Amino acid sequence: MGNSSGHNNTMSIPPGKGPHQVGCTDLMVGHTVHGTFLRLYYPCQASKNHQLPDWVPCREYFNGLADFMKMNRALSERIFNYLFGSCKIPAAWNASFKPDGKYPVIIFSHGLGAFRTLYSAICVELASQGFIVAAVEHRDESSSATFYFREHAEPGTRKHPSCDIAKPVSDNLEEVWMYYRPLKPGENEFPLRNKQVKQRADECIRALDILFDINSGKSVENVLQCDFDLSTMENSMDLCRIAIMGHSFGGATVIECLCKDVKFKCGVALDTWMFPLDEEIFPGVKQPIFFINSEKFQWIGNIIRMKKLDSAIFPRKMITIKGTVHQSFPDFTFLTGNWIGRLMKLKGDIDPHIALDLSNKATLAFLQRHLNMDRDFNQWDPLMMEKMTI
């Protein structure tokens, strides 16, 4: 998939600013809908001749975005391919892992209608700063699109994979696409979203379990054809220093994960959508939480629910970045011009590079403090001052 239309794509996803070059790969463990699918970002060996992966892996994701945005698929695919078809992620595809002690781990959960690649600017930056980041693609029907595999009935009937990176290792498997499920007319939204956030948390926990297996040297079978050697990551992760991070619905997933699994030592919740959560779980969240909010998305009822997580014992931080909108966190904000960006509410009043830089630095300061890391991220401690508006 690519853009041959002559569209001048001077806009791009910013590379990481940290000391490490970043690699990425896809990992699918278990071929069914109940398996785990994630994009893994990691510090890699320096290389000049590396391939950069497409930001949107294949056309089915464009179709999913069209469905989510209630647009015509045929028209929107042409528009999306024109705007984003040549966009690349600034990470070396399947690059060799860089051993350098033990890296802390972050599990990342995407928002409603998103998928595993749409927050690459955040994930690449964190990996460049020395984290291993697993961006989960959720199978709860909240992704705009995702896929899994099924065993096909007859030999020779398997369809050709739609994505080059979606080729299974077994000839006996064919891909099945799952798209975003909209609310049915008259459907009560809370039961659906609450069920989804619980599934999302389970998927994040399973992703973490897989990283534990990789770190311990257990054989982990990737369903996808892949040149990356997972065994090179053995004993490379600091599994005493694990954080959960997410945006919007992914922010709600952060809180659900913290309640369900104490292996997550802290959580960073970006512009969290609190609606899917059952407030009864709030007293069970005993790890530090950092809420980083946009200026335009939040409303009083949502903030009140965040404040119900306040604790005299467990650290809670909340900041708002002025001039930002809800879409200041996904990559779209870097890939559209000002006119389209403002029209589609993908950009706020602040330069998107400045906005994400502030968010990332505040995140790193928080992670250093609550993962007890010996780094220099505490230079950005002022960015996470209580009740601060940047």
pLDDT of residue 301: 95
What type of residue is 124?
V
Query: For strand 289-294 and strand 388-389, is the pairing parallel, antiparallel, or unpaired?
Result: unpaired
**CA-to-CA distance for 40 and 89, rounded, in angstroms?**
13
Whether residue 310 contacts residue 362, with contact meaning beta carbons closer than 8 Å, is answered with: no
Q: Long-range contact list for 189-198, CB < 8 A, 24+ apart?
A: 189/275, 190/275, 190/276, 193/249, 193/275, 193/276, 194/276, 194/277, 194/278, 195/140, 196/138, 196/140, 196/141, 196/142, 196/249, 196/276, 197/249, 197/252, 197/253, 197/256, 197/276, 197/277, 198/256
Identify the CA nearest to 346 among candidates 2, 83, 7: 83
Q: Which residues are catalytic?
A: 248, 271, 326
* pTM of structure: 0.93
Sign of CA dihedral 193, 198, 199, 203: positive
Contacts of 112 (CB under 8 A, 6+ apart): 142, 248, 249, 273
**CA-to-CA distance for 210 and 159, rounded, in angstroms?**
29
pLDDT of residue 362: 98
| Ranges of the chain with pLDDT below 70 | 1-10, 153-162, 386-390
Whether residue 99 contacts residue 232, with contact meaning beta carbons closer than 8 Å, is answered with: yes
pLDDT of residue 235: 98
Contacts of 186 (CB under 8 A, 6+ apart): none
Whether residue 259 contacts residue 281, with contact meaning beta carbons closer than 8 Å, is answered with: yes
Give the domains, in start order, of the chain with CATH numbers. Answer: 21-389 (3.40.50.1820)
pLDDT of residue 169: 84
HEC assignment per residue over 157-204: CCCCCCCHHHCECCCCEEEEEEECCCCCCCCCHHHHHHHHHHHHHHHH
The pair of structure tokens assigned to 147 is 């896929």
pLDDT of residue 338: 76
pLDDT of residue 5: 33
Q: Report the SS3 class of residue 317.
A: strand
Residue in the structure block whose two tokens are 């809370």 = 190
Contacts of 236 (CB under 8 A, 6+ apart): 97, 99, 102, 103, 132, 215
